[in-house]
Amino acid sequence: MEMRSYMARKTAYLAITLFAIIAFNFFLFRIMPGGPENVLVPKGSSEFIKDAVRARFHLNDPYPEQFVIYLKQVFTLDFGISAARWKNTNITEGLPQPIFNTVLLVGTGTVLAIWLGVSLGKFAAWRRGKPADTVGMAFALTFYSMPTFLFALVMLMLFAGELKWFPLNGAYGRGYEDMSILEKLASRLYHMVLPVIAFTIEVMAEYALIMRNSLTDVLTEDYIVTARAKGLSNKAILRDHAMKNAMLPVVTVAAISIGWVLGGDIMVELVFSYEGLGMLTWEAVNLRDFPLLQAIFLIMAIVVLIANFLADIIYMYLDPRVTV
Amino acid sequence: MAVCNTEMKKLQSCERSSRFSAKAFGVVLFAVAVLAAAPLLGLMLAAPSLDGSDMRAHSFFAATVANAGSDQTVWIGNQTVLNATLTTSDYGWSELYYNWTFDDNGTHNRSGRVVPYSFSTTGIHIVTLTVTDPTNASSTDEVVITVVPKPVTGSNRTLHEGIDVLTITFNASLSEPKDLIVSYEWNISTKAGKLLAHLSGPVIQYSFNKSGNYTVTLTVTDSNGMAASKSVFVRVLPKPLFIVAHWIFTFIELPILLIAAYIVIGRWRKGSGLITKTDVEKARLQYKTFKKDWKIFKANRLGFSGLLILFMFLAMAIMAPVLSTVPNPDKHEEPNVPDPIDPRNLPPLQQNPLPPSLKKSIYTGWTHPLGTDHKGQDIYSLTLYGSRASLIVGLIATAISVILGALIGLGAGYFGKITDEVLMRVTDFFLVLPWFPLMIVLMAILGQKFFYVVLVIGITSWPSTARIVRSQVLTVKERQFIVRAQAIGASDGHIIKTHILPNVLPLIFANTVLLIAIAIFSESFLDFFGLGDPNVISWGAMLESAYEQEAFKGGAWWWIGAPGVAIVGMVLSFSLVGYAVDDVLNPKLRRR
């Protein structure tokens, strides 16, 4: 019963926040200097496109009416016309491909990062104060302090520019459309290696730091001493007693840091010219394609919101003590 | 440059259509003849073609057809090029004789396939091309060259409101032909097309009293009735907002001055001296705690080395003009002195970056210990100057974020109930928004100014501070001395000011230091993304130019390495100091 009401409350908050994000996205592009006309209607385009954009965004109507129309459009996944990136065509048609590419990169990278980060954190925490801990944490701290684009740039220079082991840019090779499925897979994998490594190491550093801190905390608790006194093996203490509690902060932080993860993803995609959402953001900014930018921002915000919601639910299952 | 007057256009098109119909008629006749003759010809030619005789002899239908090219409109005095290369003939063009006849101040003849010519009178000139082939058969074609007067308006201008004089003199007296121009008409309109003024005369004056983009169109008419117009664009930039132009004053100096004035006036009104005995006692106690904390801090080796690195960066930022190997950009008076920091005045010497070397470069004449970039700017000096931008952004953006976060956290934590609920929902909302994309969107909308970089980083990073402050306020609020203060009737403002703030602020200090690291990180990200201020030297912008010029392909490691090491060093040292301060201020963590 309690769990159900907790879920209901969380869902209600989700709905309210979702509405707030859509409203924020709507007003952000309208209250800025120069007004919506300046922001949404592309400069230097022909009168035909200008009229089309004005009609598409109903810029001649009062704001409340515009907002209702915008809400309707968002819920029917209609993001309007791209001003410059895909000249005068519907944004919704162009989005699936970049989203797929980004999900591939971020998905692989995040899974690897969590697995490696948790392992590294565990390794360092168990050897607290020893050289292995110092080296591991110095490694993690350095990568945590390093902007992702810098690390990606160094990797690009070393492995693509100097050694020429990997391609310099793109999510797949030339002539991708004509390849067989196996070739497509190979081409994708070959192009994904460097971006995934760059992304994974950057995100991994954060998880390693949190895991190490959380586990060192848990290892000083009394029940660990009790377990030790019972004569349990080190492995059993770590696996059955310490890790279960130490994982909780990792789950929370994993949810909160999705905004951070997205930033890392944008940088990695930018450096490797990987055709995903991050690259698209950059193109939209450079071309001053505000309708597209608006759509991308909305998608990113909603993804983060849903990820937070899921993390809350997972947290509740992991930690039954959570009070409602 | 389509300059034309309507009357003439009509004339031209009418003439062209008549010529066209004549041509069309010829083509139809030709086609009919060919169709009728083809079977006949086939029979006739079957035998001779077998023995491979010269084919040209049979093509007696295809004569030479002259083509004088398309009609043109030119300004007087400008050269026009007459081109007959579209002429079709069975003979090679070197075998043909081309003759052009001009009716400009009498009749002139020129020969050649491509002929340049300058007209000396305005008007509609018909040029006749006659092409004669070796068999003396000839073909003619005509081309209409419209020669119009040449308006001279001067170049486009950009004015700054508040700096430049907004009254501009336009001088068209150099327009040609000088003696024959009868009228100068000026139309001044906004970019949207709204006509603001209509003036006439060779020299006019107009004041642009509002910022915006203007088009000034000059139309000159000469005694032959030929007219031509030309537009010049005037851009009047608005006066920058006071806050934007003097943002350091507004955000740092003014608040400090106001706080100082508030304290001094408060003391003066109470009638006590500026420094009382209690102040001395307080300072002594604070010094004592500080000494104790410093001892703990010093024991933390990582934190201490972080602090040392920070001092190094601070020294770099302050002494950049002294330390750099190239002249100081601030001291340049003459505009044409080549300047390795300001790219605008650099000579275009080389495309490739120079590698690090301790010798004087033969290209630039300066030492480049860390090499140069593609423009020949010194990487070492740029890295030194870049530390200024990072430190300023780090400190001021964090100040904005801490002030915002502290206000909201204090309000939520102290007043509780509905205030807490509303403020925390707002905080959660901003915590959920992905802040890198949010920064990108805000910067894209606001525009690339250093002030906006600081502001955007400041207002996107406050939610975490608000949460921490609120939780600290909640624990402090339950303490006995707050309850006692409330019992003797102290006001909320007084309690917050004298009891809560002093107990909360030190605890969020560690968080503040970590925020600085994140702000510097964000600034370099925005610069790398291409959204930073292009006029500010920063590490992110250096990396961006290295990436754009593909330094990674050419192996210019110094170009990526120097700013890269600097960013990592600064962010890392702030993080280390932050963790160490956390260790000192939150004793609970110390057992780790």
Q: Using CA atoms, how far apart are residues B341 and B352, in angstroms rounded to an integer? A: 17
- Each residue's pLDDT, cut to its tens digit, for chain B (592 residues) gives 333 343 344 444 444 444 444 454 555 555 555 445 544 444 444 444 434 333 343 344 447 788 888 888 888 877 788 888 778 777 777 778 888 888 777 777 888 888 888 887 888 888 888 888 888 778 888 888 888 888 887 777 777 776 667 777 888 877 777 777 888 888 888 877 788 888 888 888 888 877 778 888 888 888 877 888 888 888 887 776 777 667 777 777 888 899 899 888 887 877 777 777 888 888 899 899 889 888 888 888 888 889 999 999 999 888 877 777 776 544 433 334 444 455 444 444 445 667 677 777 666 666 777 777 776 677 888 888 888 888 989 988 999 899 899 889 888 888 878 888 888 888 888 888 888 888 888 888 887 888 888 989 998 888 888 888 888 888 888 888 888 888 888 888 888 888 888 888 777 787 888 889 889 988 998 888 888 887 788 888 888 888 877 777 767 788 888 888 999 999 889 888 888 887 787 665 544 4
Name the closest residue on chain A to residue B579, using Cα atoms: A141
Chain B residues close to A24, C-beta within 8 Å: 429, 433
Chain A residues close to B586, C-beta within 8 Å: none
A301·B552 Cβ contact <8 A = no
At residue B216's C-alpha, the angle toward residues B212 and B219, to 5°, is 165
Chain A residues close to B524, C-beta within 8 Å: 147, 150
Minimum distance, in Å, between the CA of residue A146 and any CA atom of chain B:
5
Strands B181-190 and B212-222: antiparallel
- Residue B205: partners with Cβ closer than 8 Å, 6 or more residues away: B167, B168, B169, B170
Q: Which of B445, B446, B560 sits opposite A153 (nearest CB)?
A: B560
Neighbours of B11 (CB within 10 A): 14
Nearest alpha carbon to residue A137 among A200, A210, A201, A209: A209
Written as six digits, the tokens of A178 are 């004509």
B437·A162 Cβ contact <8 A = no
B441·A256 Cβ contact <8 A = no
Q: Using CA atoms, how far apart are residues B76 and B118, in angstroms rounded to an integer? A: 8
- CA B47 to chain centroid, in Å, comes to 75
Nearest alpha carbon to residue B570 among B532, B523, B501, B511: B523
DSSP A177-241: GGS-HHHHHHHHHHHHHHHHHHHHHHHHHHHHHHHHHHHHHHHTSHHHHHHHHTT--HHHIIIII
- The 10s digit of each residue's pLDDT in A241-294 is 888 788 887 777 777 677 677 878 888 888 888 888 888 888 888 877 777 888
DSSP B161-214: TTTS--EEEEE-TT-BSTTTEEEEEEEEEETTS-EEEEEESSEEEEE--S-EEE
Minimum distance, in Å, between the CA of residue B327 and any CA atom of chain A:
29
Burial of B6 (0-12, 13-18, 19+ CB in 10 A): exposed
Does the beta carbon of A213 lie under 8 angstroms from any beta carbon of chain B?
A: yes
Q: What residue has token string 């259509």? A: B17
Name the closest residue on chain B to residue A17, using Cα atoms: B429
B564·A153 Cβ contact <8 A = yes
Chain A residues close to B564, C-beta within 8 Å: 146, 150, 153-154
Chain B residues close to A290, C-beta within 8 Å: 444-445
Q: Using CA atoms, how far apart are residues B100 and B115, in angstroms rounded to an integer? A: 8
B434·A147 Cβ contact <8 A = no
A161·B529 Cβ contact <8 A = no
Q: What's the first-to-final CA gap in chain A, in angstroms?
A: 11
- Residue B203: partners with Cβ closer than 8 Å, 6 or more residues away: B169, B170, B171, B172, B173
Minimum distance, in Å, between the CA of residue B460 and any CA atom of chain A:
12
B564·A168 Cβ contact <8 A = no
Question: pTM score > 0.80 for this model?
Answer: no
- The 10s digit of each residue's pLDDT in A81-118 is 776 666 667 777 778 888 888 888 888 888 898 899 88
Q: What is the pLDDT of residue B308?
A: 93
3-state secondary structure (DSSP) of residue B215: strand
A142·B572 Cβ contact <8 A = yes
Give the ipTM of the model, two decimals please: 0.84
